[in-house]
Amino acid sequence: MTGPNRREFVQAAACLLAGAALPGCAGVAAVRVTPSNGAVRLSTRELPQLARAGGHAKVLPEGATTPIYVLAGENGGYTALSSICTHRACTVDVEGAQLVCPCHGSIFDRTGRVLKGPAREPLRSFPLTATPGGELVIRLETQP
Which of these, 127, 131, 32, 17, lies nearest to 80 by C-alpha position? Answer: 127
Portion of the chain with pLDDT greater than 70, in percent: 78
pLDDT tens-place string over residues 12-31? 554 444 433 333 333 368 89
Q: Determine contact, residues 123/85, Cβ cutoff 8 Å.
A: yes
pTM metric for this prediction: 0.76
The band of 141, judged by pLDDT with boundaries at 50, 70 and 90, is confident
Portion of the chain with pLDDT greater than 90, in percent: 63
Distance in angstroms (rounded) separating the CA atoms of residues 139 and 88? 25
Could you state, in order of their start, the residue ranges of all structural domains in the chain? 27-139
pLDDT tens-place string over residues 57-98? 999 999 999 999 999 998 889 999 999 999 999 999 999 999
Going from the C-alpha of 107 to that of each of 9, 21, 99, 138, the distances in angstroms are 39, 24, 6, 24
Domain spanning 27-139: CATH 1.20.1250.20 = no
Instruction: Indicate the average pLDDT of the chain.
Output: 83
Asked if the model's pLDDT at residue 138 lies above 90, the reply is: yes
CA atoms within a 13 Å half-sphere pointing along the CA-CB vector of 3: 5
